[in-house]
C-alpha cells in the first residue's frame, strides 16, 4: 500500500478515537463544574454519572472479548461512532438523572467500540500491510480529543448554557464522524492473515491475571484525574477559572506522548517504559495532593497526560503483538479490568469528596492503589522474563537432541 493509504488509515483511526473518547467521554470533564453551577449537580451524582459511563465501557469490553468476526467488529465500530454523537447531543434535553445514567452508559459502550475495536482493526490492518504494529499514533487521538474539549470549554462556557454546550460538543462529534464513515476501509473476514506468532503460547498462565491487576490499578490512577481534575481546580481559590487551561495542558501532553513512549520502549524495552509510566502517573497524583499552586498543578497535568496514555498504548500494543490473530480479545480482557476500576473509583471518590468537602482522601486512595499497581506490574514483568528464559532453555535442549 502506498504511504498515503497508511496515512489516511491512521488519520481515520485517530478521528474515531477523538469522537468516541475525546468527545463522548471527555466533554463530561469540563461540563461537571458547569452543571454544578447551573443546575446544582452534586459531587456524588457527578461521580455516579462517571461510573455509569465506565459501566458501559466495561460492558462493551466484556462483549468485545467474545467477538472474533471482523465484519461484526466493523458494524459495531460504526455503531459506536453513532452512539457517541447521539448520546452527547441527548444530554442537553433532560435533567432526569436516570436518563443521564442511561445516556452515559451507552456513551461508555460507544467508547469501548472506538478504542478496542478501532485499535484491533487498525492493528490487523497494520500487520496485514507489513507496518510496525504500534498504536502510539492511534492513542494520540485521545490527547487531541482532550485538547478539543478544553478549547471548546473555554470558548463556549461564558456564552452558552450548559445544555447548549452539550449540543455544541455533539455537533463537533457529528462533523468529525463524516470522514471516518467514508474513509474507514472495509476489511473482509479472510483478508487479514497475520504472520504466525507463537509468543502467545509462551506466556505463563498467571501472566495475564497479574497484568490485569496492574492495569486495574492504572485504571484507578487514570479515571480519578480524568473525571475530577477540572472540578478539583475549580474548587480551589487559587485555581478557580483555570480548569480549562489545566485540562488543555493534559491534552497537549497526551497527544505526542504515545509516539515518544514507543521510541523509548524500542530503545530501553517495554517493561522499563511501562514501569516509568506507572511511577510518573503516581507522581502526578502526589503533586495534586501536596499543592494547589498553578505551576504545580500544571506540572501534574503534564505528567499525568504524558503517563496515563503511555500505559494504555504500550499495554494494549504489547498484548496485541502477543495475540496477533485476534488482538481485540486480550485487549478487551485488559480493558475489562481498566473499565471495572473506572466504574468503581469515581463513585467512591465523589462520595468521599461530598462527605469531606475536598478531594484529598480520594487522591490518597488513588495513590495507594497506584502503588499496588506498580508492585503488580513488577510481578508481571518477572513472570514474563521467567517464562521467556524457560522457553529459551527448552528450545536449546530440543535443538541439541
C-alpha cell, 258: 504515545
Domain boundaries, the chain: 3-185+201-396
Report the alpha-carbon angle 301-303-306, nearest 5: 105
Is the pLDDT at 198 greater than 50? The verdict is no
Residue environment code for 163-180, b if the CB has 16+ CB neighbours within 10 A, otherwise e: bebbbbbbebbbebbeeb
> Shortest CA distance to 83 belongs to which of 114, 49, 46, 55?
114
Lowest mean pLDDT among 27-36, 58-67, 310-319, 325-334: 325-334
Question: Mean pLDDT over residues 225-239, rounded?
Answer: 81
What is the reported pLDDT for 26?
A: 83
Lowest mean pLDDT among 2-16, 133-147, 162-176, 196-210: 196-210
- 95-117 residue pLDDT tens: 899 999 999 999 999 998 898 88
Burial class (CB in 10 A: 0-12, 13-18, 19+), 384: buried
Question: Mean pLDDT over residues 322-336, rounded?
Answer: 74
* Higher pLDDT, residue 260 or 230: 260
Strand, coil or helix: 237: coil
Secondary structure letter of residue 26 according to DSSP:
T
What is the reported pLDDT for 276?
A: 96
Say what percent of the chain tops pLDDT 90.
30
pTM: 0.75
What is the reported pLDDT for 199?
A: 44
CA–CA dist 328, 216 (Å, integer): 18
Please say whether the structural domain 3-185+201-396 has been given the CATH code 3.30.70.20: no
What is the reported pLDDT for 55?
A: 85
C-alpha cell, 353: 469528596
- Residues 23 and 141 sit within 8 Å (Cβ to Cβ): no
Q: In the predicted model, what is the mean pLDDT of the chain?
A: 83
C-alpha cell, 218: 492504572
391 confidence band (pLDDT: 50, 70, 90): very low
Question: Mean pLDDT over residues 281-288, rounded?
Answer: 94
What is the reported pLDDT for 196?
A: 42
Question: What is the residue whose three cell numbers read 497526560?
Answer: 305
C-alpha cell, 233: 481546580
Is the pLDDT at 157 greater than 80? The verdict is yes
Amino acid at each position: 500500500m502506498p504511504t498515503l493509504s497508511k496515512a489516511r488509515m491512521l488519520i481515520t483511526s485517530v478521528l474515531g478515537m477523538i469522537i468516541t473518547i475525546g468527545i463522548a467521554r471527555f466533554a463530561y470533564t469540563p461540563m461537571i463544574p458547569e452543571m454544578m453551577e447551573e443546575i446544582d449537580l452534586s459531587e456524588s451524582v457527578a461521580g455516579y454519572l462517571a461510573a455509569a459511563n465506565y459501566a458501559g465501557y466495561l460492558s462493551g469490553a466484556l462483549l468485545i472479548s467474545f467477538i472474533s468476526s471482523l465484519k461484526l467488529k466493523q458494524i459495531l465500530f460504526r455503531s459506536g461512532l453513532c452512539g457517541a454523537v447521539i448520546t452527547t447531543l441527548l444530554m442537553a434535553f433532560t435533567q432526569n438523572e436516570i436518563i443521564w445514567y442511561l445516556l452515559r452508559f451507552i456513551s461508555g459502550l460507544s467508547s469501548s467500540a472506538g478504542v478496542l475495536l478501532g485499535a484491533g482493526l487498525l492493528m490487523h490492518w497494520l500487520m496485514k500491510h507489513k507496518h510496525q504494529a504500534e498504536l502510539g499514533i492511534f492513542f494520540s487521538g485521545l490527547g487531541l480529543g482532550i485538547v478539543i474539549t478544553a478549547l471548546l470549554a473555554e470558548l463556549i462556557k461564558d456564552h452558552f448554557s450548559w445544555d447548549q454546550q452539550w449540543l455544541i460538543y455533539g455537533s463537533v462529534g457529528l462533523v468529525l464522524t463524516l470522514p471516518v464513515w467514508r474513509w474507514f476501509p472495509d476489511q473482509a473476514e479472510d483478508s487479514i492473515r497475520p504472520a504466525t506468532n507463537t509468543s502467545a503460547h509462551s506466556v505463563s498462565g498467571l501472566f495475564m491475571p497479574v497484568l490485569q491487576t496492574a492495569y486495574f490499578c492504572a485504571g484507578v490512577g487514570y479515571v480519578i484525574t480524568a473525571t475530577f481534575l477540572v472540578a478539583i481546580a475549580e474548587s480551589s481559590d487559587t485555581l478557580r477559572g483555570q480548569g480549562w487551561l489545566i485540562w488543555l495542558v493534559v491534552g497537549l501532553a497526551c497527544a505526542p506522548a504515545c509516539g515518544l513512549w514507543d521510541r523509548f520502549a524500542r530503545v530501553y524495552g517495554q517493561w522499563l517504559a511501562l514501569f516509568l509510566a506507572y511511577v510518573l502517573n503516581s507522581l502526578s497524583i502526589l503533586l495534586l495532593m501536596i499543592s494547589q499552586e498553578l505551576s504545580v498543578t500544571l506540572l501534574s497535568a503534564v505528567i499525568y497526560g504524558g503517563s496515563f496514555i503511555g500505559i494504555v498504548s504500550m499495554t494494549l500494543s504489547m498484548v496485541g503483538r502477543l495475540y496477533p490473530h485476534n488482538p481485540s480479545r486480550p485487549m478487551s480482557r485488559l480493558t475489562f479490568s481498566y473499565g471495572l476500576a473506572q466504574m468503581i473509583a469515581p463513585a467512591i471518590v465523589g462520595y468521599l469528596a461530598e462527605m469531606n468537602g475536598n478531594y484529598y482522601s480520594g487522591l490518597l486512595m488513588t495513590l495507594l492503589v497506584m502503588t499496588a499497581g506498580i508492585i503488580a506490574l513488577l510481578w508481571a514483568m518477572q513472570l514474563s522474563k521467567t517464562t521467556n528464559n524457560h522457553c529459551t532453555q527448552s528450545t536449546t535442549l530440543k535443538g541439541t537432541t
